[in-house]
Amino acid sequence: MTVFNSKYIYRCADCGKEYDGLQTLYLCPDCSAKNETGKPPPGVLQIVYNYQKLKKSVSSIVNFKARGFIDVMPFEKISSLPMLRVGNTPLYNFNNLNGEKLPFEICFKDDSQNPTFSFKDRASAVVSAYAKEKGYETIVTASTGNAGSSLAGLCAAQGQKAIIMVPETAPIAKLTQIIMYGATIIPVKGTYDDAFDLSIKATEEFGWYNRNTAFNPLTIEGKKTVSFELYEQLGYSLPDRIFVPVGDGVIISGVYKGFEDLLKLEIIDKMPEIVMVQSENSDNIVRNMESEEFISKPSTTIADSISVDIPRNFYMVKHYIKKYEGKYLTVSDSEIIEASRVLSKNTGIFSEPAAATAFAGLLAYSKRKKINDNSRNVVLLTGSGLKDLKSINRLLNIPVSIRPEVGELKKILKL
Protein backbone atom coordinates (compact mmCIF):
# COMPACT_ATOMS: atom_id res chain seq x y z
CA MET A 1 0.00 0.00 0.00
CA THR A 2 1.30 3.44 -0.97
CA VAL A 3 2.28 5.59 2.01
CA PHE A 4 1.95 9.35 1.52
CA ASN A 5 4.37 11.27 3.75
CA SER A 6 3.85 14.32 1.55
CA LYS A 7 1.26 15.77 -0.81
CA TYR A 8 2.34 13.41 -3.59
CA ILE A 9 4.82 10.70 -4.43
CA TYR A 10 6.95 9.98 -7.48
CA ARG A 11 6.29 6.67 -9.21
CA CYS A 12 8.53 5.25 -11.93
CA ALA A 13 6.54 4.74 -15.13
CA ASP A 14 8.70 1.71 -15.93
CA CYS A 15 9.50 -0.27 -12.77
CA GLY A 16 6.77 1.17 -10.51
CA LYS A 17 9.13 2.05 -7.66
CA GLU A 18 7.89 4.90 -5.49
CA TYR A 19 9.80 7.83 -3.99
CA ASP A 20 8.84 10.42 -1.38
CA GLY A 21 7.64 13.69 -2.89
CA LEU A 22 9.51 15.79 -0.31
CA GLN A 23 12.72 15.46 -2.34
CA THR A 24 13.54 17.00 -5.71
CA LEU A 25 13.80 14.11 -8.13
CA TYR A 26 14.06 13.79 -11.89
CA LEU A 27 14.40 10.22 -13.22
CA CYS A 28 14.10 6.93 -11.33
CA PRO A 29 17.67 6.28 -10.10
CA ASP A 30 17.43 2.53 -10.71
CA CYS A 31 15.99 2.65 -14.23
CA SER A 32 17.96 5.67 -15.47
CA ALA A 33 21.18 3.82 -14.64
CA LYS A 34 20.25 1.43 -17.48
CA ASN A 35 20.02 4.20 -20.06
CA GLU A 36 21.65 3.45 -23.42
CA THR A 37 23.06 5.99 -25.87
CA GLY A 38 20.63 6.63 -28.72
CA LYS A 39 17.64 5.25 -26.82
CA PRO A 40 14.83 7.02 -24.96
CA PRO A 41 15.63 7.16 -21.24
CA PRO A 42 13.84 4.67 -19.00
CA GLY A 43 12.71 5.76 -15.55
CA VAL A 44 10.60 8.83 -16.33
CA LEU A 45 8.63 9.60 -13.17
CA GLN A 46 4.95 10.28 -12.70
CA ILE A 47 3.52 12.31 -9.85
CA VAL A 48 0.78 10.47 -7.97
CA TYR A 49 -1.62 12.06 -5.48
CA ASN A 50 -3.71 10.49 -2.73
CA TYR A 51 -6.80 10.14 -4.89
CA GLN A 52 -8.73 8.09 -2.34
CA LYS A 53 -8.39 10.89 0.19
CA LEU A 54 -9.09 13.62 -2.35
CA LYS A 55 -12.31 12.02 -3.56
CA LYS A 56 -13.88 12.93 -0.23
CA SER A 57 -13.23 16.65 -0.71
CA VAL A 58 -13.43 16.93 -4.51
CA SER A 59 -16.97 15.90 -5.37
CA SER A 60 -17.30 17.78 -8.67
CA ILE A 61 -15.26 19.65 -11.27
CA VAL A 62 -16.82 22.89 -9.97
CA ASN A 63 -15.45 22.31 -6.47
CA PHE A 64 -12.20 21.10 -7.98
CA LYS A 65 -11.76 24.27 -10.07
CA ALA A 66 -12.77 26.54 -7.19
CA ARG A 67 -9.66 25.37 -5.33
CA GLY A 68 -7.50 26.25 -8.34
CA PHE A 69 -6.73 22.54 -8.93
CA ILE A 70 -4.18 23.01 -6.14
CA ASP A 71 -5.00 19.58 -4.66
CA VAL A 72 -3.46 17.87 -7.69
CA MET A 73 -0.60 20.26 -8.39
CA PRO A 74 3.00 19.78 -7.16
CA PHE A 75 3.27 23.04 -5.24
CA GLU A 76 1.52 24.42 -2.18
CA LYS A 77 0.17 27.89 -2.99
CA ILE A 78 -1.55 29.38 -6.02
CA SER A 79 0.34 32.59 -5.21
CA SER A 80 3.58 30.80 -6.12
CA LEU A 81 2.58 30.87 -9.80
CA PRO A 82 3.75 33.73 -12.04
CA MET A 83 1.35 36.68 -12.14
CA LEU A 84 0.94 36.29 -15.90
CA ARG A 85 -2.20 34.46 -17.03
CA VAL A 86 -1.20 30.97 -18.08
CA GLY A 87 -3.86 28.59 -19.38
CA ASN A 88 -7.57 29.32 -19.60
CA THR A 89 -6.96 29.72 -23.32
CA PRO A 90 -9.92 30.00 -25.71
CA LEU A 91 -11.72 27.07 -27.28
CA TYR A 92 -13.23 27.97 -30.65
CA ASN A 93 -15.95 25.88 -32.28
CA PHE A 94 -16.20 25.60 -36.07
CA ASN A 95 -18.70 23.72 -38.21
CA ASN A 96 -17.63 25.05 -41.61
CA LEU A 97 -14.49 24.59 -43.66
CA ASN A 98 -13.76 26.13 -47.05
CA GLY A 99 -17.34 27.34 -47.26
CA GLU A 100 -18.90 23.93 -46.66
CA LYS A 101 -20.75 22.77 -43.56
CA LEU A 102 -19.03 19.89 -41.80
CA PRO A 103 -20.93 16.84 -40.57
CA PHE A 104 -18.89 16.98 -37.35
CA GLU A 105 -17.68 19.68 -34.95
CA ILE A 106 -14.11 20.98 -34.66
CA CYS A 107 -12.97 22.71 -31.47
CA PHE A 108 -9.65 24.52 -31.67
CA LYS A 109 -7.87 24.93 -28.33
CA ASP A 110 -5.67 27.94 -29.04
CA ASP A 111 -2.69 27.86 -26.70
CA SER A 112 -0.89 30.51 -28.71
CA GLN A 113 -2.83 32.84 -26.38
CA ASN A 114 -0.49 32.01 -23.50
CA PRO A 115 1.99 34.73 -22.39
CA THR A 116 4.87 33.57 -24.60
CA PHE A 117 2.51 32.26 -27.28
CA SER A 118 2.87 28.53 -26.75
CA PHE A 119 1.54 25.54 -24.82
CA LYS A 120 4.90 25.26 -23.06
CA ASP A 121 3.91 28.05 -20.66
CA ARG A 122 1.75 25.54 -18.78
CA ALA A 123 4.81 23.49 -17.84
CA SER A 124 7.06 26.48 -17.21
CA ALA A 125 4.55 28.04 -14.82
CA VAL A 126 4.46 24.93 -12.63
CA VAL A 127 8.24 24.50 -12.72
CA SER A 128 8.68 28.16 -11.79
CA ALA A 129 6.21 27.88 -8.89
CA TYR A 130 7.95 24.77 -7.53
CA ALA A 131 11.38 26.41 -7.82
CA LYS A 132 10.11 29.48 -5.99
CA GLU A 133 8.79 27.42 -3.08
CA LYS A 134 11.94 25.28 -2.89
CA GLY A 135 14.35 28.19 -3.08
CA TYR A 136 15.98 27.49 -6.46
CA GLU A 137 17.26 30.74 -7.97
CA THR A 138 18.37 29.41 -11.37
CA ILE A 139 16.42 27.20 -13.78
CA VAL A 140 18.01 25.64 -16.85
CA THR A 141 16.47 23.95 -19.86
CA ALA A 142 17.32 22.65 -23.31
CA SER A 143 14.96 23.72 -26.05
CA THR A 144 14.43 24.02 -29.80
CA GLY A 145 12.82 27.34 -28.97
CA ASN A 146 9.34 27.23 -27.41
CA ALA A 147 10.24 25.71 -24.04
CA GLY A 148 13.19 28.07 -23.79
CA SER A 149 11.25 31.22 -24.62
CA SER A 150 8.51 30.06 -22.27
CA LEU A 151 10.84 29.50 -19.34
CA ALA A 152 12.63 32.77 -20.06
CA GLY A 153 9.38 34.73 -20.07
CA LEU A 154 7.91 33.24 -16.92
CA CYS A 155 11.20 33.50 -15.04
CA ALA A 156 11.27 37.18 -16.01
CA ALA A 157 7.83 37.56 -14.42
CA GLN A 158 9.03 35.77 -11.28
CA GLY A 159 12.42 37.44 -10.95
CA GLN A 160 14.18 34.10 -11.48
CA LYS A 161 17.30 33.42 -13.53
CA ALA A 162 16.86 31.29 -16.67
CA ILE A 163 19.62 29.63 -18.67
CA ILE A 164 18.50 28.31 -22.06
CA MET A 165 20.55 25.89 -24.17
CA VAL A 166 19.43 25.69 -27.80
CA PRO A 167 20.68 23.97 -30.95
CA GLU A 168 22.32 26.59 -33.14
CA THR A 169 19.64 26.04 -35.83
CA ALA A 170 16.73 27.17 -33.62
CA PRO A 171 14.35 29.70 -35.31
CA ILE A 172 15.38 33.32 -34.86
CA ALA A 173 11.91 34.39 -33.60
CA LYS A 174 12.20 32.06 -30.63
CA LEU A 175 15.79 33.07 -29.93
CA THR A 176 14.69 36.71 -30.04
CA GLN A 177 12.09 36.04 -27.35
CA ILE A 178 14.65 34.37 -25.10
CA ILE A 179 17.05 37.29 -25.41
CA MET A 180 14.36 39.95 -24.90
CA TYR A 181 13.15 38.23 -21.73
CA GLY A 182 16.66 38.65 -20.32
CA ALA A 183 17.59 34.97 -20.08
CA THR A 184 21.09 33.66 -20.71
CA ILE A 185 21.08 31.90 -24.07
CA ILE A 186 23.66 29.20 -24.85
CA PRO A 187 23.68 28.07 -28.53
CA VAL A 188 25.02 24.53 -28.81
CA LYS A 189 26.61 22.97 -31.87
CA GLY A 190 24.60 19.89 -32.81
CA THR A 191 21.02 18.80 -32.16
CA TYR A 192 18.43 19.34 -29.44
CA ASP A 193 19.66 16.10 -27.89
CA ASP A 194 23.18 17.55 -27.58
CA ALA A 195 21.77 20.63 -25.85
CA PHE A 196 19.67 18.37 -23.61
CA ASP A 197 22.68 16.33 -22.50
CA LEU A 198 24.71 19.45 -21.75
CA SER A 199 21.90 20.89 -19.61
CA ILE A 200 21.84 17.69 -17.54
CA LYS A 201 25.58 17.91 -16.96
CA ALA A 202 25.21 21.56 -15.94
CA THR A 203 22.43 20.63 -13.50
CA GLU A 204 24.70 18.10 -11.83
CA GLU A 205 27.69 20.45 -11.82
CA PHE A 206 26.06 23.67 -10.62
CA GLY A 207 22.96 22.53 -8.71
CA TRP A 208 20.54 24.43 -10.97
CA TYR A 209 16.92 23.33 -11.20
CA ASN A 210 16.21 21.62 -14.54
CA ARG A 211 13.00 22.12 -16.54
CA ASN A 212 13.72 19.61 -19.35
CA THR A 213 10.68 17.80 -20.64
CA ALA A 214 10.56 14.07 -19.94
CA PHE A 215 13.26 14.66 -17.34
CA ASN A 216 11.45 16.88 -14.87
CA PRO A 217 8.13 15.17 -13.95
CA LEU A 218 6.53 18.53 -13.13
CA THR A 219 6.35 19.44 -16.82
CA ILE A 220 3.65 16.82 -17.34
CA GLU A 221 1.77 18.20 -14.34
CA GLY A 222 1.71 21.62 -15.97
CA LYS A 223 0.59 20.32 -19.33
CA LYS A 224 -2.24 18.23 -17.88
CA THR A 225 -4.14 21.41 -16.99
CA VAL A 226 -5.36 21.59 -20.60
CA SER A 227 -7.49 18.49 -19.94
CA PHE A 228 -9.19 20.11 -16.95
CA GLU A 229 -9.95 23.19 -19.05
CA LEU A 230 -11.32 21.20 -21.98
CA TYR A 231 -13.70 19.29 -19.72
CA GLU A 232 -15.01 22.53 -18.24
CA GLN A 233 -15.17 24.45 -21.54
CA LEU A 234 -17.14 21.64 -23.16
CA GLY A 235 -19.86 21.98 -20.54
CA TYR A 236 -18.48 19.35 -18.16
CA SER A 237 -18.47 16.73 -20.88
CA LEU A 238 -15.79 14.90 -22.84
CA PRO A 239 -14.91 15.36 -26.51
CA ASP A 240 -15.08 12.32 -28.74
CA ARG A 241 -11.54 12.80 -29.96
CA ILE A 242 -8.48 14.99 -29.36
CA PHE A 243 -5.71 15.48 -31.94
CA VAL A 244 -2.31 16.21 -30.38
CA PRO A 245 0.95 17.15 -32.18
CA VAL A 246 3.79 15.02 -30.82
CA GLY A 247 7.58 15.34 -30.71
CA ASP A 248 9.10 14.02 -27.48
CA GLY A 249 5.72 12.91 -26.14
CA VAL A 250 5.30 15.13 -23.08
CA ILE A 251 2.27 17.14 -24.23
CA ILE A 252 0.25 14.05 -25.08
CA SER A 253 1.32 12.43 -21.79
CA GLY A 254 0.07 15.55 -20.03
CA VAL A 255 -3.28 15.31 -21.82
CA TYR A 256 -3.59 11.69 -20.73
CA LYS A 257 -2.48 12.50 -17.18
CA GLY A 258 -5.08 15.24 -16.79
CA PHE A 259 -7.95 13.01 -17.83
CA GLU A 260 -6.49 10.16 -15.78
CA ASP A 261 -6.56 12.41 -12.69
CA LEU A 262 -10.24 13.12 -13.38
CA LEU A 263 -10.86 9.40 -13.76
CA LYS A 264 -9.19 8.61 -10.45
CA LEU A 265 -11.20 11.35 -8.76
CA GLU A 266 -14.35 9.81 -10.32
CA ILE A 267 -15.28 13.09 -11.96
CA ILE A 268 -15.37 11.33 -15.35
CA ASP A 269 -15.90 7.67 -16.14
CA LYS A 270 -13.98 7.15 -19.39
CA MET A 271 -11.00 8.36 -21.38
CA PRO A 272 -11.66 10.24 -24.64
CA GLU A 273 -9.97 8.97 -27.78
CA ILE A 274 -6.62 10.70 -28.09
CA VAL A 275 -4.86 10.77 -31.46
CA MET A 276 -1.09 11.23 -31.64
CA VAL A 277 0.02 13.05 -34.81
CA GLN A 278 3.64 13.17 -35.94
CA SER A 279 5.36 14.39 -39.08
CA GLU A 280 6.45 11.48 -41.24
CA ASN A 281 9.84 13.23 -41.26
CA SER A 282 10.05 12.97 -37.47
CA ASP A 283 8.13 9.83 -36.58
CA ASN A 284 10.33 8.24 -33.95
CA ILE A 285 7.41 7.45 -31.65
CA VAL A 286 4.84 6.28 -34.21
CA ARG A 287 7.37 4.16 -36.10
CA ASN A 288 8.46 2.37 -32.93
CA MET A 289 5.04 1.81 -31.37
CA GLU A 290 4.90 -1.84 -32.38
CA SER A 291 8.65 -2.51 -32.33
CA GLU A 292 10.47 -4.58 -29.74
CA GLU A 293 13.62 -2.49 -30.01
CA PHE A 294 13.65 1.31 -30.40
CA ILE A 295 15.48 2.54 -33.50
CA SER A 296 15.96 6.26 -34.08
CA LYS A 297 15.86 7.93 -37.48
CA PRO A 298 17.23 11.48 -38.01
CA SER A 299 14.45 14.05 -38.10
CA THR A 300 14.14 16.47 -41.02
CA THR A 301 10.69 17.96 -40.54
CA ILE A 302 10.00 21.66 -41.01
CA ALA A 303 8.01 21.54 -37.76
CA ASP A 304 10.97 22.29 -35.52
CA SER A 305 9.08 22.10 -32.22
CA ILE A 306 8.30 18.42 -32.83
CA SER A 307 11.54 17.53 -34.57
CA VAL A 308 13.04 14.96 -32.20
CA ASP A 309 15.50 12.15 -32.86
CA ILE A 310 15.23 10.58 -29.41
CA PRO A 311 11.74 11.12 -27.93
CA ARG A 312 12.47 11.36 -24.23
CA ASN A 313 8.98 10.34 -23.14
CA PHE A 314 8.59 7.42 -25.54
CA TYR A 315 7.90 4.70 -22.98
CA MET A 316 5.25 6.67 -21.12
CA VAL A 317 3.46 7.60 -24.35
CA LYS A 318 3.50 4.01 -25.50
CA HIS A 319 2.08 2.90 -22.15
CA TYR A 320 -0.74 5.46 -22.23
CA ILE A 321 -1.73 4.70 -25.81
CA LYS A 322 -1.79 0.96 -25.19
CA LYS A 323 -3.67 1.30 -21.89
CA TYR A 324 -6.37 3.65 -23.20
CA GLU A 325 -6.49 2.43 -26.82
CA GLY A 326 -5.25 5.70 -28.28
CA LYS A 327 -4.62 6.16 -32.00
CA TYR A 328 -1.71 7.49 -34.00
CA LEU A 329 -0.74 8.55 -37.51
CA THR A 330 1.83 10.53 -39.46
CA VAL A 331 1.35 13.34 -41.96
CA SER A 332 3.73 14.78 -44.55
CA ASP A 333 5.38 18.17 -44.23
CA SER A 334 3.36 19.27 -47.27
CA GLU A 335 0.16 18.32 -45.44
CA ILE A 336 1.34 20.28 -42.40
CA ILE A 337 1.96 23.46 -44.42
CA GLU A 338 -1.37 23.08 -46.21
CA ALA A 339 -3.12 22.56 -42.87
CA SER A 340 -1.54 25.79 -41.61
CA ARG A 341 -2.87 27.63 -44.67
CA VAL A 342 -6.37 26.15 -44.40
CA LEU A 343 -6.50 26.86 -40.68
CA SER A 344 -5.45 30.50 -41.09
CA LYS A 345 -7.81 31.14 -44.00
CA ASN A 346 -10.85 29.57 -42.33
CA THR A 347 -10.45 30.58 -38.70
CA GLY A 348 -8.11 33.54 -38.42
CA ILE A 349 -5.79 31.46 -36.23
CA PHE A 350 -2.19 31.44 -37.46
CA SER A 351 -0.35 28.45 -35.99
CA GLU A 352 3.24 27.33 -36.33
CA PRO A 353 3.84 24.09 -38.28
CA ALA A 354 4.18 21.98 -35.12
CA ALA A 355 0.72 23.08 -34.01
CA ALA A 356 -0.79 22.74 -37.49
CA THR A 357 0.37 19.12 -37.44
CA ALA A 358 -2.58 18.28 -35.18
CA PHE A 359 -5.00 19.88 -37.65
CA ALA A 360 -3.29 18.01 -40.51
CA GLY A 361 -4.08 14.84 -38.58
CA LEU A 362 -7.75 15.77 -38.37
CA LEU A 363 -7.87 16.56 -42.09
CA ALA A 364 -6.27 13.18 -42.84
CA TYR A 365 -8.81 11.45 -40.60
CA SER A 366 -11.65 13.27 -42.34
CA LYS A 367 -10.34 12.37 -45.78
CA ARG A 368 -10.21 8.72 -44.74
CA LYS A 369 -13.80 8.89 -43.39
CA LYS A 370 -12.63 8.11 -39.85
CA ILE A 371 -14.61 10.88 -38.13
CA ASN A 372 -18.21 10.09 -37.20
CA ASP A 373 -21.01 12.50 -38.02
CA ASN A 374 -22.07 14.74 -35.12
CA SER A 375 -18.88 13.96 -33.21
CA ARG A 376 -16.93 16.62 -31.29
CA ASN A 377 -13.24 16.78 -32.19
CA VAL A 378 -10.65 18.90 -30.39
CA VAL A 379 -7.46 20.08 -32.08
CA LEU A 380 -4.65 21.29 -29.80
CA LEU A 381 -2.97 24.32 -31.36
CA THR A 382 0.22 24.59 -29.39
CA GLY A 383 2.04 27.65 -30.75
CA SER A 384 1.76 30.85 -32.78
CA GLY A 385 2.73 30.97 -36.44
CA LEU A 386 4.82 34.05 -35.69
CA LYS A 387 7.22 31.71 -33.89
CA ASP A 388 8.51 30.25 -37.15
CA LEU A 389 7.89 32.35 -40.28
CA LYS A 390 10.61 30.71 -42.34
CA SER A 391 8.70 27.45 -42.71
CA ILE A 392 5.76 29.03 -44.50
CA ASN A 393 7.77 31.13 -46.97
CA ARG A 394 6.62 28.88 -49.80
CA LEU A 395 3.04 30.08 -49.27
CA LEU A 396 3.90 33.76 -49.59
CA ASN A 397 3.29 35.51 -52.88
CA ILE A 398 3.55 39.22 -52.20
CA PRO A 399 2.47 41.35 -55.20
CA VAL A 400 4.74 43.96 -56.71
CA SER A 401 4.13 47.52 -55.55
CA ILE A 402 1.98 49.90 -57.60
CA ARG A 403 1.85 53.65 -58.08
CA PRO A 404 -0.64 55.34 -55.71
CA GLU A 405 -3.26 55.75 -58.45
CA VAL A 406 -6.84 54.39 -58.65
CA GLY A 407 -6.21 53.20 -62.20
CA GLU A 408 -3.34 51.02 -61.01
CA LEU A 409 -5.53 49.68 -58.22
CA LYS A 410 -8.27 48.74 -60.71
CA LYS A 411 -5.75 46.81 -62.78
CA ILE A 412 -4.38 44.76 -59.91
CA LEU A 413 -7.87 44.04 -58.52
CA LYS A 414 -9.29 43.49 -62.04
CA LEU A 415 -12.13 45.96 -61.45
**Same domain (yes/no): 68, 138:** no
pTM: 0.94
Statement: residue 398 has pLDDT above 80: no
Pick 173 or 412 by higher pLDDT: 412
**Same domain (yes/no): 369, 247:** yes
C-beta neighbour count of 333 within 10 angstroms = 19
Pick 308 or 92 by higher pLDDT: 92
Q: What percent of the chain lies above the pLDDT cut of 70?
A: 98
Which residue(s) pair with 161 in the sheet?
138
Alpha-carbon distance of 329 to 244, in angstroms, equals 11
User: Are the beta carbons of 247 and 281 closer than 8 angstroms?
Assistant: no
Q: Which of 50-64, 139-153, 182-196 has the lowest mean pLDDT?
A: 50-64
Assign residue 112 the CATH number of its domain: 3.40.50.1100
**Same domain (yes/no): 101, 153:** no
Asked whether residue 412 is domain-assigned, the answer is no
User: Are the beta carbons of 349 and 111 closer than 8 angstroms?
Assistant: no
152 three-state secondary structure: helix
**Same domain (yes/no): 25, 154:** no
pLDDT for 1: 62
User: Are the beta carbons of 395 and 401 closer than 8 angstroms?
Assistant: no
User: Are the beta carbons of 17 and 11 closer than 8 angstroms?
Assistant: yes
pLDDT for 390: 72
What's the domain count of the chain?
3
Asked whether residue 300 is domain-assigned, the answer is yes
**Same domain (yes/no): 278, 344:** yes
Alpha-carbon distance of 393 to 166, in angstroms, equals 23
Tell me the HSE value of 278 on the side-chain side, using a 13 A CA sphere. 28
**Same domain (yes/no): 106, 182:** no
Asked whether residue 413 is domain-assigned, the answer is no
Give the domain range for residue 147.
121-217
Q: Kindly state the average pLDDT of the residues 361-382.
A: 97
Please give the sequence-ordered ranges of beta strands (E in DSSP) within 138-212, or none if there are none: 138-142, 161-167, 184-188, 209-210
Alpha-carbon distance of 14 to 168, in angstroms, equals 33
**Same domain (yes/no): 269, 319:** yes
Pick 302 or 62 by higher pLDDT: 302
pLDDT for 304: 85
For 353, counting Cβ atoms within 10 Å of its Cβ (0-12 exposed, 13-18 middle, 19+ buried), the class is buried
Q: Which of 158-172, 286-300, 342-356 has the lowest mean pLDDT?
A: 158-172
**Same domain (yes/no): 255, 375:** yes
**Would you place residue 66 in the very low, low, confident or very high pLDDT band (cuts 50, 70, 90)?**
low
**Same domain (yes/no): 170, 252:** no
**Same domain (yes/no): 109, 256:** yes
Asked whether residue 404 is domain-assigned, the answer is no
**Would you place residue 74 in the very low, low, confident or very high pLDDT band (cuts 50, 70, 90)?**
very high
User: Are the beta carbons of 183 and 163 closer than 8 angstroms?
Assistant: yes
For the chain, what is the mean pLDDT? 93
Please give the sequence-ordered ranges of beta strands (E in DSSP) within 246-288, or none if there are none: 273-279
Alpha-carbon distance of 72 to 220, in angstroms, equals 12
pLDDT for 59: 67
**Same domain (yes/no): 130, 245:** no
Consecutive H or E run containing 110: strand 100-110
Statement: residue 173 has pLDDT above 70: yes
Using one digit for the tens of pLDDT, what is the confidence trace for 253-295? Answer: 999 999 999 999 999 999 999 999 999 999 999 999 999 899 9
**Same domain (yes/no): 110, 165:** no
